[in-house]
């Protein structure tokens, strides 16, 4: 697979940008940043028509034929689709298409999964990667403050997408804890990866002042420019629910080990087997597990 030189990669920041990035990858044959011009990197009018058809087929949104000329970047086109993102509000968010054994990455403490896009690209574009985002961020869903309840819901989503294993699971912060519980509900889990939050920009956000937090997120390019304070309030509620969930969590009986890459945000109980690795070993370990 041929990929342009990655000189200024800007990763997706929400489910709409993630979805569009995946569609562009399918159409063009390589991954792109959200600010790269579709036609400037090799797309043509037939390719643009395929993107428009995917929007209609998967999101049920009809776009004018010239939309790609007016909005030739993922970032710009996503802004026109964001009000129609109801179908992208569910837990399972495809991050990257591919074949073979699927990788499922569960959200960190802020509930979001777009931050996993760069990790997916580093693993290789031939591997299927899915994110599981927390309820309460989008649509009319409410936050859930129970690790077992989240694990059951996510296991159902995983089985619906891939009825049989093997599976590879991972997450940062709360995501690793939930992944451990999901593994107890699925057969043939090859790896449970606890990711160093620094590897995926998943540090716990300081949102004591929502307006200041939003300005900081935009300055760091962590959220789209049209993100509102209401979304910050949603993230706050999700994070609070996950703090309660992890504090009350008691591990299910399991012999499955947890592989920690770098520094973990979690304190694993003594009855959970933990294997520690360097943060730099993560990509190679995931590639091996996905073979």
Report pLDDT for 223.
Answer: 85
Predicted confidence at residue 87, as pLDDT, reads: 67
Has residue 2 been placed in a domain? no
Kindly tell me the sign of the dihedral angle through the C-alpha atoms of 4, 19, 185, 175: positive
8 in a domain, yes or no?
no
Question: What pLDDT is stored for residue 90 in this prediction?
Answer: 79
Residue finishing a domain among 38, 72, 88:
88
Domain of 191, CATH number, reads: 3.40.50.1820
Considering the domain architecture, whether residues 169 and 57 belong to the same structural domain is answered as no
Question: What DSSP line would sit under 207-240, residue for residue?
Answer: -SSHHHHHHHHHHTT-S-TT--HHHHHHHHHHHH
Task: Please count the structural domains in the chain.
Answer: 2
Is residue 222 domain-shared with residue 152, that is, in the same domain? Answer: yes
Q: Are residues 232 and 150 in the same domain?
A: yes
Instruction: Please indicate, yes or no, if residue 249 is contained in any of the structural domains.
Output: yes
- Residue 79's domain comprises 15-88
pTM, 2 dp? 0.83
* The predicted structure's pLDDT at residue 2: 40
Q: pLDDT tens digits, residue range 89-126?
A: 779 988 888 888 999 999 999 999 988 988 998 998 88
* Residue stretches of the chain with pLDDT short of 50: 1-7
Inter-residue contact 51 to 23 (CB < 8 Å)? yes
pLDDT for residue 102: 93
Whether residue 4 is contained in a domain is answered as no
271 and 141 in a single domain? The answer is yes
What does DSSP assign to residue 276?
E
CB 256 within 8 A of CB 184: yes
């Amino acid at each position: 697979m041929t990929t342009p030189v990655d000189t200024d990669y800007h990763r997706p920041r929400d489910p709409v940008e993630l979805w569009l990035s995946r569609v562009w990858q399918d159409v063009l044959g390589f991954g792109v940043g959200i600010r790269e011009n579709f036609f400037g990197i090799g797309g043509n009018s037939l390719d643009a028509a395929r993107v428009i058809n995917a929007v209609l087929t998967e999101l049920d949104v009809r776009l004018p034929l010239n939309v790609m000329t007016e909005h030739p970047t993922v970032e710009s086109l996503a802004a026109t689709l964001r009000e129609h993102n109801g179908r992208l509000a569910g837990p399972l968010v495809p991050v990257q298409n591919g074949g073979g054994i699927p990788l499922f990455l569960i959200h960190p403490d802020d509930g979001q999964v777009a931050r996993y896009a760069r990790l997916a690209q580093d693993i290789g574009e031939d591997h299927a990667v899915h994110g599981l985002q927390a309820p309460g961020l989008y649509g009319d869903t409410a936050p859930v403050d129970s690790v077992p309840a989240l694990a059951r819901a996510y296991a159902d989503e995983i089985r619906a997408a891939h009825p049989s294993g093997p599976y590879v699971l991972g997450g940062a912060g709360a995501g690793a804890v939930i992944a451990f519980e999901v593994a107890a509900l699925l057969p043939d889990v090859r790896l449970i990866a606890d990711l160093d939050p620094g590897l995926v920009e998943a540090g716990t956000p300081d949102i004591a002042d929502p307006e200041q937090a939003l300005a900081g997120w935009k300055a760091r390019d962590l959220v789209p420019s049209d993100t509102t304070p209401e979304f910050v309030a949603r993230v706050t509620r999700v994070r609070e629910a996950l703090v309660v969930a992890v504090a009350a969590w008691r591990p299910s009986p399991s012999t499955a080990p947890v592989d920690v890459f770098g520094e973990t945000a979690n304190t694993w109980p003594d009855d959970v087997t933990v294997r520690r690795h360097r943060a730099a070993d993560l990509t190679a370990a995931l590639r091996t597990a996905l073979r």
